[in-house]
Amino acid sequence: MKLEFEKKMKIASDLLSYCHLQGAAEYHLDIKVNNDSAVFVVKASPVKISDEDMKMLRKLLGAPRQKEMEQGYWELVGSSEEKCEMTLIGMMCDEAEAQLTGDELTITVVRKD
């Protein structure tokens, strides 16, 4: 149980870190934990992110979940380069979506237990 909580906090922290690296000065994070899942929604602005970088972010977050490899992955989150972290988060989650509206970035990630 404690390990699962730590994984969720790492995901939240690294989503915020990513937004910070994109120039955001304002952040809003919602985490909703249900019996069988956790939903993370981060909104950040203003961000400076190109269309190409948004495409890459979506691709990285879309990495298929790898439950059997997760123990090693979650320990790496926060200790590697920015693009790799988004891939690791993608591999730890079941669904992910990134959307840019003006200068506001919204990332939604769902992790099922």
* Residue 70 banded pLDDT, cuts 50, 70, 90: low
* pLDDT at position 79 over 60: no
Residue 94 CA, chain-centre distance (Å), reads 11
* pLDDT at position 63 over 70: yes
Stated pTM of the model: 0.86
Q: How many CB atoms lie within 10 A of CB 111?
A: 20
CATH number at residue 82: 3.30.565.10
In the chain, % of residues over pLDDT 90: 58
d(CA 18, CA 12): 10
Domain count, the chain: 1
User: By residue range, what is the domain housing residue 12?
Assistant: 2-112
The sheet that has 95-101: what strands, in order across it? 26-33, 37-45, 104-112, 95-101
Rounded to an integer, the average pLDDT of 81-100 is 82
d(CA 65, CA 43): 23
Sign of the Cα pseudo-torsion (33, 58, 80, 17, in order): negative
